[in-house]
């Protein structure tokens, strides 16, 4: 069942059903008093449950298994390792259209018009939706006077007559593209001559026909739109030719994710890439996992493509994992350039129907799903024949899912997935995670280094600017030192582009009263609100609460509210004043909403419509702009002073990655880092791009303070709206854990933001020493959790277990 319960359940089926049914098919079942779910068949057996009477299933929902054995094996691993139910994994894995349940809400698809293809029951529901904007599956059952309605709803979805309500996704629009062809009357060359003669007086129509012939030289279907543009005629001209039976229209339902354009030959690898490639293949003869440490702009993507091609040639599937798809449209375009229609993209921002489409294509091993490019959730797809997994930017935190369960790390789960398929897996990064590098050093993984930028461009020159000194000498304007301003001016004078990195969005993170020192707080969370200038409002970045900017302080009434600190919006404003003749752009969460939000900004910057781009850490994600010669990091210190054991590693990654955006094509780039603390060891390591030293030093600290990769971490979080309840619960839990694990239990602590959406939060961390078994630790923890949940007072408390919580 797609629910967070550890158990599986037995339902009864008839003999006929038993013959038809296979593992991995879905069945509609009722559960509890009135719930209906799409359950997954895990086993078909003849053992009666002893504790309850097996109910009958409602119906079988699939003709063939939707989930294969390899997936089930993988999901089971995820459930065990991350301490969640198999149902949690099932729910996370399937596009929601496959998970119909009694509470699912359906809507009419307004664009649907072919009512005549609907069966009677289907039509009844469709009609009911004319009067009522939405229905639950429960209500559908009531309307039809029967319980067994899932297949009817399924069929309505398939026929695109209805959609499932999913607020976060964009609404589905069937995408029918109108094409034009010649009417069958006119196929021979002879009649064409006549045709043109006939039209000699209708000048526009004649032009349309001529345009059509020019386009048809390419032997591809001709879109009506395309013809209008080519012949420079209106749609009514083409329509009139259709009315005359000269043209006819036809429609093709295109896949919603479509590749346009031609594929190209793979680039020729340079000698260093060639060497890396052969080393990778060499390591693969002994190891299943290999880490590719390739500096920024060394051309890792080109190396991947060669490996991918070889696996495709063996007839196997490839999974290419990316941290955040929306940010990596460039890499999608590049891979599509090589592999064209063999690529499908899978991402949670795509609509339900797009995801269903990809799922089915992978399941059927269709040629267009030979390479799956996807974010973390694509590890759940029904692969049957994986030959290679590439995890690009393997160090990225977005591979980890924190909420909801399963709280998995897609890189780690992908390693297990590869093992299940007997496939190879390549982890790539310019700044590998300490864990992966450690595993490579321990010879658990193969290791290959690529230390040259393509074209032998040197890594950028990195200089540290001491802000404290600049302030003392009054050489600072707003948030810019004179040195950084000079570098920006020089780049702009040469018509080059600039990236400025400011790891905070909004205008100024915190507003503070100068009289009494109080900052406006979020009413739902224990955190200060952030000022957003554009809308003149205050917002909570945790729960999205917003209010207009008050005129006076809520605590003392004085009108002395002031900005403290700075964010992207403020930097953008200062820049427009400092460089009024140049176009300034901004890329952060606020400017990139919507499916194409990133693409627009990235596209504008590529097209050089923007001279200076200000942004948050989004800018550090593998972007490739050839005209950027300067990268400025405005406030390095905010990244270093972060209460997290990985803060320094992350700060190094982020700075090296953004720096890597400078000087990628011809000439060496510049990087300027403003800081109050230029002697900080991490900044020194960034300025010399000394990964090895960073690694050595961080590793020592990890050992000393008992952190990964030496110790494993399990984090437990308790949440409830009543503070006292959480507090009592967490103290009980701490004692119980302490008696099992002793000094390796840390806490209980309140996180930096100790209340979110009115829920109070407490954490406990369990550290697991290298020699202590992970499995038995989890078993013990599970026992304690069960005891905790058996206490009536604690039952309403949310108990969250996060394995490898980093």
- The residue from 296, 433, 439, 591 that contacts ligand ADP (CB under 6 A) is 296
267 interacts with, out of Zn ion, ligand ADP, none, CB within 5 to 8 A per kind? ligand ADP
**Dist. CA 353–CA 111, nearest whole Å:** 14
CA atoms within a 13 Å half-sphere pointing along the CA-CB vector of 724 = 1
> Would the annotation count 84 as a binding residue?
no
* Closer residue to ligand ADP, CB minimum distance, 264 or 724: 264
Q: From ligand ADP, Zn ion, none, which one binds at residue 620 (CB under 5 to 8 Å depending on kind)?
A: none
Task: Check whether 513 is labelled as a binding-site residue.
Answer: yes
Q: C-alpha 433: how far from its chain's center?
A: 19
Among 273, 328, 401, 568, binds ligand ADP (CB under 6 A): 273
- CA quadruple 368, 370, 376, 381: dihedral sign: positive
Q: Which does 545 bind (CB under 5 to 8 A by kind): ligand ADP, Zn ion, none?
A: Zn ion
Query: Out of 102, 154, 205, 297, which residue is the one contacting ligand ADP (CB under 6 A)?
Result: 297
Closer to ligand ADP by CB, 454 or 767: give it: 454
CB 457, min distance to ligand ADP, A = 9
What percent of the chain is helix, strand and coil (3-state, nearest 5)?
Answer: 40, 20, 40
Output 101 or 302, the one with its CB closest to ligand ADP. Answer: 302
Return the number of the residue (669 or 729) whose C-beta is nearest ligand ADP.
669
Q: How far is the CB of 209 from ligand ADP (least distance, A)?
A: 42
Task: Say how far apart CA 501 and CA 616 lie, in whole Å.
Answer: 6
- Of 198, 475, 624, 727, the one binding ligand ADP (CB under 6 A) is 624
299 is a contact residue toward ligand ADP (CB under 6 A): yes
Among Zn ion, ligand ADP, none, the one that 270 touches (CB under a kind-dependent 5 to 8 A) is: ligand ADP
CA distance 291 to 447: 5
Binding to Zn ion by residue 510, rule CB under 5 A?
A: no
DSSP state of 620: G
The DSSP secondary structure of 444-511, one letter per residue, reads SSEEEEE---GGGPPPPEEEEEEHHHHHHTT-EETTEEHHHHHHHHHHHHTT-EEEEE-S--SSBSEE
Q: Check: CB of residue 734 under 8 Å from CB of residue 762.
A: no
CB of 452 to Zn ion, least distance (A): 47
**CB of residue 513 to Zn ion, shortest distance in Å:** 3
Instruction: Select from Zn ion, ligand ADP, none the partner in contact with residue 740, using the beta carbon and a kind-dependent cut-off of 5 to 8 Å.
Output: none
Selected binder of Zn ion within 525, 636, 683, 805 (CB under 5 A): 525
Least distance from C-beta 663 to ligand ADP, angstroms? Answer: 11
Cα–Cα nearest to 291, from 449, 454, 400: 449
DSSP secondary structure of 500-565: EE-S--SSBSEEEETTT----B-SSSSSB-EEETTTTEEE-TTT--EEEPPSS-TTT--S-EEEES
Q: Which two tokens stand for residue 546?
A: 């917003």
Per-residue contact string for residues 401-440; x = within reach of ligand ADP by CB under 6 A: ----------------------------------------
Residues sharing a CB contact under 8 Å with residue 46, sequence separation 6 or more, in sequence order: none
Read off the tokens for 453. 């930028």
Strands of the sheet with 371-374, listed across from one edge: 343-346, 371-374, 317-321, 386-392, 424-429, 289-294, 446-450
Point out which span in 98-106, 263-271, 359-367, 745-753 binds ligand ADP (CB under 6 A).
Answer: 263-271
Quote the least distance from Cβ 270 to ligand ADP, whole Å. 5
Query: Is 540 known to sit in a ligand binding site?
Result: yes
Q: Are 499 and 632 in contact (CB under 8 A)?
A: yes
One of 68, 107, 240, 515 touching Zn ion (CB under 5 A): 515
Q: Which residue is nearest to ligand ADP (CB)?
A: 299
Per partner kind, with CB cut-offs from 5 to 8 A, the member of ligand ADP, Zn ion, none near residue 297 is ligand ADP
Give the CA count within 13 Å in the CB-facing half-sphere of 260: 3
Residue number, 556 or 589, with CB nearest to Zn ion: 556
Q: Please identify, using beta-carbon distances, which residue of 382 and 622 lies nearer to ligand ADP.
A: 622
Among candidates 367, 378, 306, 364, which has minimal Cα distance to 335?
306
Nearer residue to ligand ADP within complex by CB, 95 or 622: 622
Nearer to ligand ADP, 606 or 624 (CB): 624
Q: Which stretch binds ligand ADP (CB under 6 A): 85-93, 197-205, 300-308, 731-739?
A: 300-308
CA-CA-CA-CA torsion sign (754, 758, 760, 763) = negative
799 lies in the binding site for Zn ion (CB under 5 A): no
Map the footprint of ligand ADP across residues 439-458, applying CB under 6 A: 454
How many other β-carbons are positioned within 10 Å of the β-carbon of residue 793?
10
The two structure tokens encoding residue 556: 């003392």
Distances, alpha carbon 610 to alpha carbons 463, 488, 499, 658, in Å = 25, 14, 10, 18
Q: Which does 302 bind (CB under 5 to 8 A by kind): ligand ADP, Zn ion, none?
A: ligand ADP
Give CA–CA dist 62/379, Å, rounded. Answer: 22
Q: How far is the CB of 583 from ligand ADP (least distance, A)?
A: 23
Which position among 71, 85, 283, 301 is part of the footprint of ligand ADP (CB under 6 A)? 301
Q: 44, 142, 176, 516: which one contacts Zn ion (CB under 5 A)?
A: 516
Let me know: does 406 contact 79? Beta carbons within 8 Å.
Answer: yes
**Cβ-based burial of 490 (10 A; exposed 0-12, middle 13-18, buried ≥19):** middle
Q: What track of x and - describes contact with ligand ADP for positions 655 through 684 (by CB under 6 A)?
A: ---------x--------------------
- What are the Cα distances from residue 621, in Å, to 394, 397, 624, 802? 11, 11, 9, 26
Q: Which of 513, 623, 636, 761 is the binder for Zn ion (CB under 5 A)?
A: 513
Q: Which helix (H) or strand (E) holds 251?
A: strand 247-253
- Identify residues 569-598 at the interface with ligand ADP (CB under 6 A): none
Task: Compute the half-sphere exposure of residue 682: CA atoms within 13 Å on the CB side of its CA.
Answer: 21
Contact with ligand ADP (CB under 6 A): which of 302, 324, 569, 804?
Answer: 302
Residue in 104, 163, 205, 298 binding ligand ADP, rule: CB under 6 A: 298
Rounded Cα gap, residues 316 and 365, in angstroms: 9
Q: Of these partners, Zn ion, ligand ADP, none, which one is at the site of residue 483 (CB under 5 to 8 Å by kind)? A: none
Retrieve residue 220's tokens.
């591809």
Identify residues 541-600 at the interface with Zn ion (CB under 5 A). Answer: 542-543, 545, 553, 555-556
Residue 524's binding partner, choosing from Zn ion, ligand ADP, none, with beta-carbon cut-off 5 to 8 A by kind? Zn ion
The least distance separating ligand ADP from the CB of residue 271, rounded to whole angstroms, comes to: 10
CB of 629 to ligand ADP, least distance (A): 15
Taking alpha carbons only, the member of 252, 305, 253, 236 closest to residue 276 is 305
Among 183, 230, 267, 744, indicate the residue that binds ligand ADP (CB under 6 A).
267
Are 108 and 417 spatial neighbours (Cβ–Cβ below 8 Å)? no
**CB distance 338 to 264 below 8 Å:** yes
Which option in ligand ADP, Zn ion, none does residue 294 bind, with CB closer than 5 to 8 A by kind? ligand ADP
Cβ-based nearer residue to ligand ADP, 322 or 345: 322
Residues that bind Zn ion (CB under 5 A): 513, 515-516, 522, 524-525, 540, 542-543, 545, 553, 555-556
Q: Which residues are annotated as a binding site for Zn(2+)?
A: 513, 516, 522, 525, 540, 543, 553, 556
Residues making contact with ligand ADP (CB under 6 A): 267-270, 273, 294, 296-302, 454, 622, 624, 664
* Residue list, annotated binding site: 513, 516, 522, 525, 540, 543, 553, 556
């Amino acid at each position: 069942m797609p629910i967070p319960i550890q158990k599986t359940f037995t339902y009864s089926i008839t003999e006929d059903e038993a013959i038809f049914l296979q593992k991995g098919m879905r069945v509609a079942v009722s559960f509890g008093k009135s719930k209906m779910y799409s359950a997954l068949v895990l086993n078909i057996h003849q053992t009666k449950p002893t504790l309850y009477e097996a109910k009958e299933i409602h119906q079988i929902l699939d003709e063939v298994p939707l989930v294969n054995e390899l997936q089930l094996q993988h999901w089971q691993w995820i459930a065990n390792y991350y301490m969640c139910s198999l149902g949690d994994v099932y729910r996370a894995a399937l596009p929601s259209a496959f998970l119909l349940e009694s509470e699912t809400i359906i809507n009419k698809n307004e664009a649907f018009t072919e009512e005549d293809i609907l069966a009677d029951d289907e039509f009844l529901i469709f009609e009911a939706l004319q009067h009522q904007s939405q229905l639950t599956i429960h209500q559908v059952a009531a309307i039809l006077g029967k319980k067994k309605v899932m297949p009817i709803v399924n069929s309505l979805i398939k026929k695109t007559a209805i959609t499932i309500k999913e607020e976060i996704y964009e609404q589905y629009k069937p995408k029918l593209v109108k094409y034009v062809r010649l009417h069958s009357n006119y196929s021979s060359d002879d009649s064409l001559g006549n045709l043109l003669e006939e039209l000699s007086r209708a000048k526009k129509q004649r032009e349309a026909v001529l345009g059509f012939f020019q386009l048809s030289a390419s032997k591809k279907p001709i879109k009506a739109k395309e013809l209008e543009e080519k012949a420079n005629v209106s749609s009514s001209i083409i329509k009139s030719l259709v009315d005359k039976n000269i043209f006819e229209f036809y429609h093709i339902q295109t896949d919603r994710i479509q590749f346009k354009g031609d594929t190209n030959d793979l680039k020729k690898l340079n000698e260093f890439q060639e060497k890396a490639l052969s080393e990778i293949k060499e390591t693969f003869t002994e190891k299943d996992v290999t880490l590719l440490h390739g500096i920024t702009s060394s051309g890792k993507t080109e190396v991947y493509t060669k490996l991918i091609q070889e696996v495709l040639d063996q007839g196997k599937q490839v999974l290419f994992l990316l941290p955040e798809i929306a940010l990596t449209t460039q890499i999608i375009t590049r891979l599509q350039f090589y592999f064209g229609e063999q690529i499908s993209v899978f991402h949670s921002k795509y609509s339900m129907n797009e995801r269903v489409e990809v799922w089915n294509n992978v399941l059927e091993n269709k040629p267009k799903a030979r390479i799956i490019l996807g974010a973390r959730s694509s590890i759940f797809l029904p692969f049957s024949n994986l030959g290679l997994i590439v995890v690009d930017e393997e160090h990225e935190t977005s591979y980890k899912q924190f909420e909801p369960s399963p709280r998995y790390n897609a890189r780690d789960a992908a390693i297990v997935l590869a093992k299940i398929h007997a496939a190879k897996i390549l982890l790539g990064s310019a700044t590998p995670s300490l864990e992966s590098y450690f595993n490579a050093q321990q010879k658990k993984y193969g290791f290959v280094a690529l230390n040259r930028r393509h074209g032998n461009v040197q890594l950028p020159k990195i200089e540290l600017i001491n802000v404290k000194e600049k302030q003392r000498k009054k050489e600072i304007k707003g948030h810019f030192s004179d040195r950084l301003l000079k570098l920006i001016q020089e780049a702009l004078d040469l018509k080059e582009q600039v990236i400025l990195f400011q790891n905070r969005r909004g205008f100024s993170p915190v507003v503070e009263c100068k009289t009494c020192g109080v900052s406006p707080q979020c009413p739902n969370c224990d955190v200060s609100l952030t000022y957003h200038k554009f809308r003149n409002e205050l917002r909570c970045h945790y729960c999205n609460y917003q209010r207009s900017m008050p005129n006076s302080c809520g605590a003392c009434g004085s009108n002395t509210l002031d900005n403290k600190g700075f964010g992207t919006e403020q930097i953008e404003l200062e820049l427009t004043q400092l460089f009024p003749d140049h176009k300034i752009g901004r890329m952060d969460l606020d400017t990139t909403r919507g499916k194409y939000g990133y693409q627009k900004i990235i596209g504008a910057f590529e097209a050089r419509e923007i001279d200076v781009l200000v942004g948050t850490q989004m800018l550090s994600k593998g972007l490739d702009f050839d005209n950027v010669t300067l990268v400025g990091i405005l406030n390095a210190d905010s990244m270093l002073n972060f209460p997290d054991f990985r803060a320094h590693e992350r700060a190094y990654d982020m700075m090296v990655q953004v720096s890597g955006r400078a000087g990628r094509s011809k000439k060496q780039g510049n990087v300027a880092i403003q800081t109050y603390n230029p002697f900080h060891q991490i900044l020194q390591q960034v300025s010399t791009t000394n990964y090895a030293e960073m690694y050595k030093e961080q590793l020592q600290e990890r050992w000393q303070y008992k952190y990964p990769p030496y110790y494993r971490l399990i984090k437990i979080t308790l949440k409830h709206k009543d503070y006292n309840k959480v507090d009592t619960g967490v103290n009980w839990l701490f004692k119980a854990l302490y008696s099992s694990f002793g000094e390796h239990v840390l806490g209980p602590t309140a996180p930096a933001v100790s209340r979110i959406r009115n829920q109070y939060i407490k954490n406990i961390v369990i550290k697991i020493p290298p020699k202590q078994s992970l499995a038995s630790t989890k078993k013990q923890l599970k026992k304690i959790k069960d005891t905790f949940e058996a206490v009536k007072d604690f039952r309403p408390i949310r108990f969250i277990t996060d394995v490898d919580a980093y």
